[in-house]
Structures are given as structure tokens and as C-alpha cells.
Amino acid sequence: MIRAAHADDAADAATIAAAVRGRAMTAEAVTRAALERIRARDAGINAFTAVLAEQALADARAVDALIAAGRDPGPLAGVPFAVKDLFDIAGRTTLAGSKILAGRAPARRDATAVARLKAAGAVLVGTLNMDEFAYGFTTENEHYGATRNPRDPERIAGGSSGGSAAAVSAGMVPLTLGSDTNGSIRVPAALCGIFGLKPTYGRLSRAGAFPFAGSFDHVGPFARSVRDLAAACDAMQGHDPLDPVCAKGPAEPALGRLQEGARGLRIAVAGGYFRQSALPEALSAVAAVAAALKATREVELPQAHRARAAAFVITAAEGANLHLADLKARPQDFDSATRDRFLAGALIPAAWYLQAQRFRRWYRDRVRELFQEVDLILAPTTPCPATRIGQETMKIGEAEMPVRPNLGLFTQPISFIGLPVLSVPVQRPGALPLGVQLIAAPYREDVVLRAGAALEQAGVCAAPVARPSHSEKASDPH
Amino acid sequence: MPDPSPSPAPSQVAGFVEHASRAIGLPIRAEDLPGVLANTARLHALARLVMDFPLTDEVETAGVFEP
């Protein structure tokens, strides 16, 4: 039994934690198996930027020692996890996908999210690739290479948390952390065919996560089951005085509510903007989820195109301001994919930025009104499946549009006002997966996770491990 | 709803980049200029969508944003 469990890369975090807590296997053995999978599989994927084998094995042995002493090792005992390369890890320099930060001092403490997962018994095994400074949707990093999509290595994993999605999709680890400012958890989760949770803005502490655009920065988990996302989110919840926007209210665990399913939820599909600029298959994925959840009505998020524009302007201004000193002193050291956008963002007039922030307030109030009538809104995560590595433009209908800024068309108007979103995977035989956003009112992670669990139960959404020998080559839609 | 404001001409975008970068002391290298101009033009187009939308005086920004 122990041997079989080692080999099982399809085991989710809940299964592993139950086996470790029940002494069916040791955390050390689980960690060794994960390290072996990373060694065997990551060369073709490039999800990891560092593997912390020695520390991981030491941490795993500490979990085993707790169990041997009869103490509670935590709900995620022995679960191997990895984090986007922008989370602080004590003793290591946080790079955020750049080479500019390489000269900085090592972090003195773990990021709050990392520390809380470790406190729950999870074992950190490495750091994961990303777009430089999280400014992108493709994880084609000039310094550290492109991360490949485990379901078709010719294609992007999505970004900016591309390594976080690919590592889970390829079955290297069951749980990872990423960040989402405009879609950077949801886009790669969708393109790699797994589950990704962007919680409410402020729900999880961002302390020790390298910032991008503070108005929209979130952190959140990736996994292959909804219960793993709920368990991870529950473990990371709670106020943190180190993050000024972290929610002050009590933690609201969601794991125990999953069995309620979608019962009693008022569910609608987002119309208007969210039906334009999408390939038919992206809308079909939404329709499949809507049918399973018996959603028949449609709602319109007012002025969603302006919300996306305002998110774009605020992101460029805040991101550029953060990096202004380096843009002046050493522009040559930026990834060429981010440099021009940061430089342009640095020149944004105050009037644009402030008007965009005021519009955000207006839009938030209108969408709050919508949530008086519905509990859950469905929308595509991306307009299309994963594009090819190096592909600059994509064709949606008659329009040819650049890939990098437009993969976030449908995610930006949602993170703009901090709503909780679960991106659920819709697998398509013979074709690449697509994602559907389940969107709820602020602080209602329970609603998106309950609906996600119902879709899993119904067999509409699933995140099987992408097998190297069974990688599905999609017919090219572009 | 007012008519959408006109798109700036490429020469206006170039003039804006030249003056704004000088005003904040941010040199733009010649090899970066085409990309900066393209991204600035994109930002101008997006900002128009924001600036053209009328907001009443009482719509304030959120100091610490609460969703």
C-alpha cells in the first residue's frame, strides 16, 4: 500500500494528508517521491526555478517526528507544495522572475502564506517560474525560459503564475501558490486544465509576496481538486497586520461546506462583454457548466470593457512606479517583454490614474447591486485555449489581437473589484482544456467552492494529471 | 454621453512620450522607443474609455479598498 501510494502522482493533497496522518506512509517518503517526479518531469516543462530538496526532506522529517510523538501535524501533513518565485522564503533572495532583484538581501522570514501552509504540515519543495515581475499572461521569461504546458509542450502554460499551474497539471506536486493581479492565477489554471482560486481581495495576506500593482494584488492556491483548494485557503486565512489590506474579520473556513453543493444558489451567466471576443469553444465550456448548474438566466456587468481598461491603466501606473528607479538606472536588465510596458506606464498622467480609481468605486457599487439578485456568475476564463510558445497574435472571430494583453480580457474586470473567483477546468477529448470562472460576492469563497465541488461531483469538471505519453495535441484554432 | 474623444495622432503620442519622460527624468533609449510608443498609444486608447465615462462628484476613490 505504501509503495503504491508513493507512485500515485494523482493523489490529491487531502489523500496524502490522510495517509500521512494515519501513518500509512511517512511525509519523508511522500517528499522523496515528489522530488523524484520533479527530477523526471520538469526538464520538459520548466516549471521550477529552484528545488529545495535538503530543506524539504528536513521539514518532512520534522512532520514525521510530530506524528511519532503523538502530536497533531496539521491538516496538510506531509503535502508537498511549491510557490511562485515571488513569495519570500527565509534565507533566499526573492527574484520575482527577474535578474534585477538578484543582488538583494535574502528574505528574513517566510511570506505569511508560506508560513501558514508550513504550520499546517505542508512541505515546501521549490519555487516556480513566472513572467518577470508578474507582468504577463504567458510565462515566457527571457531570463529563466518559457514554462511549457504539460498538456501540449509546444504551448504556453499561461501566466503569470505559469510554473504554479504547470507543476500541478504535470502531477509533480498536488498544491502550489501563485498570485493574481489581473488573471495570473485563473489564466494559467484554465490553460493547464486545473483548478485555481483567486480569493476575495484582502482575504489572504500578501505579506512577503513581491508586489506588482497593490490595488489588485491577490495570492491564492492551485490544485487538482476543489477540496484541496478549500483546505489550503482555510489554512492561510486570518488577519495579518503585516498586510494593510488583509481582512480584519474572522476566518471563514469553507472545507466543511463543500457537501452543500450548489443547492439553493441563484446562478447566472455573464452576457454582453463576456460573450464577445471569445472563441465558440470558450462559450461552449461556459454553456456546459451552466447546464450542469441549471443556470438559465443572464446578467450583464455594466461597463465591463471600461473596467478592463481602468484595470489596465492602474496596473501600468502602479507597476511602473514600483520599478521607476530601476527603469531609470538599468533598463537593459528588464525582460524585453515587460520593459516597454513599464516605461509607458511610468508616463501615465495622474488624471487617468485617479479617474480609473474613481471608476472602480462606481463599478464596484453597480456589481454589488447585481449580487442582490444572484449568488454566482459564470464567465469564460480565457477567450481561447493555450496558444503556441512564441505566438504574438491570435485570431478571435475576424479580429487579430496580440496574445499577451488579451488573454486577460475576461479576468481583468473581475479582479478589478476583488471578487472571489474559482476557475474550473473543462477537459475536451482531443483538444486542449478551457476554464470557466465561477464568480461570487465579496468574501463568499464558500459559494464558488461549493459550486466547484458540485461540478466535480457531476463529472463536468476534473483535473487529471497530464501524462507525458498522452499529451493531447490540439487542432490549432489560430 | 459625450462623443468619444479623438485618438491622438502618432506624432502627438511621440511628443507626449518625449515631454513626459523628460519631466520625470526617465530617459528612453532609442532601441526602446518603438515599443514605448506602441504601448503608450494602447494606454491612450484604454484611458479614453475611462476618461469618457461621466462620474458624479461624489464618486470618490477608495482609500483602503474594500470589495
How much is the average pLDDT of A317-346? 98
pLDDT at residue number A2: 42
Contact A245 B65 (CB under 8 A): yes
- By Cβ distance, the residue of B16, B20, B43 closest to A316 is B43
**Contact map slice: A 257-316 vs B, CB within 8 A:** 303, 305-306, 309-310, 312-313, 316
A284 labelled catalytic: no
pLDDT at residue number A258: 98
A361 touches chain B (CB under 8 A): yes
Residue A194's identity, in one-letter code, is: I
Residue B1: pLDDT above 70?
no
Q: What is the mean pLDDT of chain A?
A: 95
Of all residues in chain A, the percent with pLDDT exceeding 70 is 96
Residue A303's identity, in one-letter code, is: Q
Residue A242: pLDDT above 60?
yes
* Chain A residue numbers touching B59 (CB-CB < 8 A): 358-359, 361-362
**Active-site position among A160, A179, A205, A423:** A160
Contact A343 B62 (CB under 8 A): no
* Chain A residue numbers touching B43 (CB-CB < 8 A): 312-313, 316, 344-345, 348, 352
- By Cβ distance, the residue of B26, B47, B53 closest to A313 is B47
Helix axes A226-236, A13-21, angle to 10 degrees: 70
Neighbours of A142 (CB within 10 A): 17
Residue A436: pLDDT above 80?
yes
pLDDT digits (tens, 9 = 90+) for A137-157: 999 999 999 999 999 999 999
Contact A358 B61 (CB under 8 A): yes
pLDDT at residue number A3: 43
Residue linked to cell 480565457: A382
Residue B2: pLDDT above 50?
no
φ/ψ (deg, to 5) at A174: -85, -15
Contact A347 B51 (CB under 8 A): no
- By Cβ distance, the residue of B16, B26, B38 closest to A346 is B26
- By Cβ distance, the residue of A201, A312, A364 closest to B46 is A312
Residue A409's identity, in one-letter code, is: L
A215 labelled catalytic: no
Report the half-sphere exposure of A337 (CA within 13 A, side-chain side). Answer: 27
The answer to whether A412 and A178 are in contact (CB under 8 A) is no
Minimal C-alpha gap between A133 and chain B (Å): 18
Kind plus residue range of the DSSP H or E element containing A314? helix A304-322
CA distances from A331 to A96, A324, A405, B15 (A): 16, 10, 21, 21
B16: closest chain A residue by CA: A347
Neighbours of A326 (CB within 10 A): 16
- What is this structure's pTM? 0.96
How much is the average pLDDT of B39-46? 96
Categorize the per-residue pLDDT at B7 as very low, low, confident or very high, splitting at 50, 70 and 90: confident
Which candidate, A298, A293, A292, A294, places its Cα nearest to that of A268? A298
Which candidate, A299, A312, A289, A304, places its Cα nearest to that of A435? A289
Categorize the per-residue pLDDT at A399 as very low, low, confident or very high, splitting at 50, 70 and 90: confident
pLDDT at residue number A1: 39
pLDDT digits (tens, 9 = 90+) for A40-69: 999 999 999 999 999 999 999 999 999 999
Of all residues in chain A, the percent with pLDDT exceeding 90 is 93
Residues 6+ apart with CB under 8 A from A14: A225, A227, A228, A231
How much is the average pLDDT of A96-110? 98
Categorize the per-residue pLDDT at A8 as very low, low, confident or very high, splitting at 50, 70 and 90: confident
- By Cβ distance, the residue of B39, B50, B66 closest to A352 is B50
Which candidate, A136, A56, A124, A154, places its Cα nearest to that of A96? A136
pLDDT digits (tens, 9 = 90+) for A71-83: 999 999 999 999 9
B1 touches chain A (CB under 8 A): no
Minimal C-alpha gap between A414 and chain B (Å): 11
* Chain A residue numbers touching B25 (CB-CB < 8 A): 328
> Which carries the bigger pLDDT value, residue A418 or residue A476?
A418
pLDDT at residue number B43: 96
Residue A197: pLDDT above 50?
yes
pLDDT digits (tens, 9 = 90+) for A258-293: 999 999 999 999 999 999 999 999 999 999 999 999
* Chain A residue numbers touching B21 (CB-CB < 8 A): 343, 346-347
Question: How big is chain B by its Cα radius of gyration, in Å?
Answer: 16
pLDDT at residue number A5: 45
B38 touches chain A (CB under 8 A): yes
Cell numbers representing residue A54 in the block: 535538503
**Active-site position among A161, A164, A179, A184:** A184
Least confident of A33-37, A403-407, A408-412, B53-57: A403-407
